[in-house]
Amino acid sequence: MFNLPASMINPASFEESCATMLRFGNDDLLWGMKRLDAIFDAHCTNPLEDDDDLYYSRSTEFNAYNVVKENMSKLFV
């Protein structure tokens, strides 16, 4: 899960979050989540980039990712 600043936390329902990640992943939920992980990993390799800029530009996707991951993790406990 991503640790978002409190001002950017705006969780949606599980259904809305799945729809967001499906759109982000071209109708593939897992690909959408992996794609966001890859974007974050690439961001972390550049020490000059500001986290807030990334979170602001993708806040909907980050919030959706967190909701989906939180709900799906219950399946793997």
Q: What is the pTM of this model?
A: 0.89
Domain ranges of the chain: 11-72
Contact between residue 55 and residue 3 where contact means Cβ atoms under 8 Å apart:
no
Rounded CA gap, 47 and 22, in Å?
30
For residue 76, the model assigns a pLDDT of 73
Mean pLDDT per 10-residue run, the chain (77 residues)?
90 95 96 96 88 91 96 82
Question: Which residues, other chains included, contact 44 with Cβ-Cβ below 8 Å and sequence gap of 6+?
Answer: none
For residue 77, the model assigns a pLDDT of 66
For residue 18, the model assigns a pLDDT of 97
